[in-house]
């Protein structure tokens, strides 16, 4: 090439842009959950079964040859009470019997019990950790103690 043409020649670099794609995590916010246990005193009513005993003293005053044994007759416990009596000869006299009659009595009793309930407070935070929203805990629906005991077959 002639010298003059080389001087008019300009080198132009060819540049090509490339697009590079990718992903990265960016914190845009977060959520904080706090729980609080609340103790509530409730009264519950439930059946209570206890034995009721009725004691009757039944005079007998009958002479016996030996001490009768304790026995049960138709759900009643019979406890003999004997006494020695001095006569010309000694003999046993059944003075009385104690009849113990047992029956079941069901009453209603009320007892205070402590139960625990958790409440959750949720706070939404922005990327700097500042609270931007709060939620109130929902009121928990509690089943009645009577319903619980009925479902368990207790009453």
Give the max Cα distance, the chain. 173
Structure-token pair, residue 21: 């794609």
* Contact in structure between 96 and 81 (CB atoms under 8 Å): yes
Predicted structure pTM score: 0.37
Helix (H) or strand (E) holding 150: helix 145-151
What pLDDT tens digit does each residue of the chain (155 aa) get?
Answer: 556 666 677 777 778 888 888 888 888 888 888 888 888 888 888 888 888 899 999 999 999 999 999 999 998 999 999 998 877 777 888 999 989 888 888 888 888 888 888 888 888 888 888 888 888 777 656 656 666 666 766 66
For the chain, the domains span: 25-47+109-151, 48-106
């Amino acid at each position: 090439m002639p010298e003059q043409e080389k001087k008019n020649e300009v080198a132009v670099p060819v540049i090509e842009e490339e697009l590079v794609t990718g992903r990265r995590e960016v914190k845009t916010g977060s959520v904080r959950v706090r729980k609080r246990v609340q103790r509530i005193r409730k009264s519950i009513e439930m059946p209570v079964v206890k034995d009721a005993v009725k004691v009757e003293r039944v005079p007998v005053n009958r002479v016996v040859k030996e001490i009768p044994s304790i026995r049960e007759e138709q759900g009643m416990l019979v406890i003999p009470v004997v006494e020695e009596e001095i006569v010309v000869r000694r003999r046993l006299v059944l003075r009385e019997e104690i009849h113990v009659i047992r029956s079941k009595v069901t009453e209603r009793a009320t007892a205070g019990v402590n139960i625990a309930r958790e409440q959750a407070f949720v706070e939404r935070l922005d990327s700097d950790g500042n609270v931007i929203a709060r939620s109130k805990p929902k009121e928990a629906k509690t089943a009645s103690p009577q319903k619980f005991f009925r479902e368990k077959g207790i009453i």
